[in-house]
């Protein structure tokens, strides 16, 4: 499991050296061959989250840059489902939260992994997910303590978001038993219930500016609930302190402290070395297109691509990152 200090370095992401950038430029500009049968199933998350639009952008990039490939995008319940599907060979690329990935590699049954998912291989570290707890203003919730006796949606069952919810509540000395009602719903459905006054709050682990919370904030007055440094410390690695900047959502006039955990792109050992190389190369040579799909991609850098990886890199991804000067 990656260390807290590693993640702090990652989230700041200074350029490691000019060499990596120069190497990336030297590698750019060539079409990447792929076999005609190279299907690339991209496993994402709910359509109102960040994984899905970024997955669509990656699909478009692959279609343009990996000759003969056939990319497709699948909406899923995100991290846990994605990793189990990869283990079964039912997809070639998946988005996942770092804590879910570490638990999958360990084989944590309680987290949704009945055995070690030994076929998984890392492609790249990408951007951090922010734990975003948002309540309707009329609920009166302004702190984690205020969630007691309230109605909260924690994401799809055993999703990466739901695992984050359990961890953050436990770090605050709470559990689902302290809540009046727990809903296990995707982001968009959670927001609709808050609009209809059937829920008080939603916990969503996603990149900043996630569409579902933007939608909620434009519909009803909201409160973004802080997660204190003490709670983040109690949650432990891979959680780190981060801030949701003022103005991220309508009505959010101040910075709000919270926890963050890194996202990764993952594949499996049945994907050929050449295809994994091409998949990795195409992403880092087209980061501008990912940023155009969602602002969360601004945090993705080539220099941080191997940071904190909790399982082995795919040999194809490793080859690209070595050529780019990112790893030795």
User: How would DSSP label each residue in 3-46?
Assistant: -HHHHHHHHH-----HHHHHHHHHH-S--EE--TT-EEEEE---
Instruction: Please write the tens of the pLDDT for every residue from 65-117.
Output: 999 999 999 999 999 999 999 999 999 999 999 999 999 999 999 899 999 99
Average pLDDT over every residue of 1-29: 44
Pair (133, 120) in one structural domain: no
Q: Which of 3-17, 47-61, 158-172, 205-219 has the lowest mean pLDDT?
A: 3-17
Burial class of residue 99, CB neighbours in 10 A (0-12, 13-18, 19+) = buried
- pLDDT band at residue 10, thresholds of 50, 70 and 90? very low
Domain boundary pick from 212, 243, 261:
261
What is the C-alpha separation between 181 and 148, in angstroms, rounded? 10
Instruction: Please write the tens of the pLDDT for every residue from 117-131.
Output: 999 999 999 999 999
Pair (255, 208) in one structural domain: yes
Please tell me whether residue 313 adopts helix, strand or coil conformation.
strand
Instruction: Please write the tens of the pLDDT for every residue from 296-314.
Output: 999 999 999 998 899 999 9
- pLDDT band at residue 161, thresholds of 50, 70 and 90? very high
Asked if residue 21 has pLDDT above 80, the reply is no
The encoded tokens of residue 314 equal 């795919």
With 0.85 as the threshold, say if the pTM is over it: no
In a domain, 79, yes or no: yes
- Contact predicate 91/119, CB 8 Å: no
Pair (74, 45) in one structural domain: yes
Domain boundary pick from 261, 278, 310:
261
pLDDT given for residue 308 in this prediction: 86
pLDDT given for residue 260 in this prediction: 94
In a domain, 242, yes or no: yes
CATH of the domain at 305: 3.40.190.10
What is the C-alpha separation between 31 and 227, in angstroms, rounded? 46
Domain boundary pick from 244, 261, 278:
261
Pair (10, 112) in one structural domain: yes
More confident residue, 205 or 34: 205
As for how many domains the chain has, the answer is 2
- Other C-beta atoms lying within 10 Å of the C-beta of residue 221: 11
Per the structure, the complete domain to which residue 136 belongs is given by: 129-261
Which value, in Å, is the radius of gyration of the alpha carbons in the chain? 19
- Contact predicate 225/166, CB 8 Å: no
pLDDT given for residue 62 in this prediction: 98
Pair (254, 134) in one structural domain: yes
Average pLDDT, the chain: 90
Pair (100, 33) in one structural domain: yes
Asked if residue 11 has pLDDT above 90, the reply is no
Instruction: Please write the tens of the pLDDT for every residue from 132-157.
Output: 999 999 999 999 999 999 999 999 88
């Amino acid at each position: 499991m990656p260390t807290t200090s590693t993640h702090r370095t990652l989230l700041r992401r200074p350029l490691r050296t000019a060499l990596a950038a120069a190497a990336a430029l030297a590698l750019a500009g060539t079409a990447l061959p792929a076999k005609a049968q190279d299907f690339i199933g991209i496993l994402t998350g709910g359509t109102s989250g960040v994984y899905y639009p970024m997955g669509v952008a990656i699909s478009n990039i692959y279609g343009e840059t990996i000759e003969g490939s056939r990319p497709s995008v699948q909406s899923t319940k995100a991290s846990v489902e994605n990793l189990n599907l990869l283990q079964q060979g039912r997809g070639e690329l998946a988005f996942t939260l770092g804590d879910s990935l570490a638990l999958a590699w360990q084989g944590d049954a309680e987290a949704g992994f009945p055995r070690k998912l030994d076929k998984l291989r890392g492609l790249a570290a990408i951007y951090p997910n922010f734990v975003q707890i948002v309540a309707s203003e009329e609920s009166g919730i302004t702190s984690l303590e205020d969630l007691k006796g309230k109605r909260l949606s924690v994401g799809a069952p055993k999703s990466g978001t739901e695992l984050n919810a359990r961890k953050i509540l436990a770090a605050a000395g709470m559990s689902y038993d302290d809540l009046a009602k727990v809903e296990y719903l995707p982001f968009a459905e959670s927001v609709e219930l808050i609009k209809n006054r059937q829920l008080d709050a939603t916990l969503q682990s996603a990149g900043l500016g996630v569409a579902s919370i933007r939608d909620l904030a434009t519909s009803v007055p909201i409160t973004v609930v802080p997660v204190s440094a003490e709670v983040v410390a109690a949650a432990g690695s891979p959680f780190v302190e981060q801030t949701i900047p003022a103005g991220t959502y309508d009505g959010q006039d101040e910075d709000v402290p919270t926890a963050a955990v890194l996202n990764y792109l993952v594949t499996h050992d049945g994907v050929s070395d050449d295809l994994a190389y091409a998949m990795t190369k195409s992403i880092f040579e087209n980061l501008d297109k990912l940023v155009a799909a969602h602002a969360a991609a601004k945090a993705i850098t080539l220099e941080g691509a191997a940071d904190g990886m909790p399982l082995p890199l795919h040999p194809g991804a490793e080859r690209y990152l070595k050529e780019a000067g990112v790893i030795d």
